[in-house]
Amino acid sequence: MDQFKHHILVKSIAESLMSGRPLSNHWGFPDFLLNNSQMLEKFFGSEAYDMYVILTLEDKNQLISWYETHGVVATEMFGGELYEDWDGQSICKRDVKLLADSHPVIYRDVVSNIVAKASADHSETIIDELIKLYIDPDNLESLLKENVG
């Protein structure tokens, strides 16, 4: 379950940082996703889905409950603001140094996620070099400021 949570936190934080949009403090998990394995796999991503499907029903239910509110945890990790507190106009607050200092493993994986998405057309060598560059929070903040605001 911890690997699943880690994966989802990384994915959610990366998406929020890349889009400039905050995460929600709570939302109802759509039942139709739970009843359609293909849609659920696309929603979670194949890596998280593979972790999810092998769990017991009780563990799955716990993860869905956690997923509904994980935006609070993720937002606190990078010093952001929740969707419910957001003005809907500005780029949501972020503090990548806080994330790097407080959660270095998650930060490293967030950087890898962002670089992989933004550089999908590049070679593995270039992606590795970009990860080395943006592992420095100042460099990542500059990148986000330039591309997201």
Grade residue 91 by pLDDT with cuts at 50, 70 and 90: confident
CB-count burial class (<10 Å; 0-12, 13-18, 19+) for 35: exposed
CA 54, CA 141: separation in Å to the nearest integer?
A: 37
Query: For 31-84, how does the pLDDT look when each residue is reduced to its tens digit (9 = 90+)?
Result: 899 999 999 999 999 999 999 999 999 999 999 999 999 999 999 999 999 999
- pTM, two decimal places: 0.91
pLDDT averaged over every residue in the chain? 94
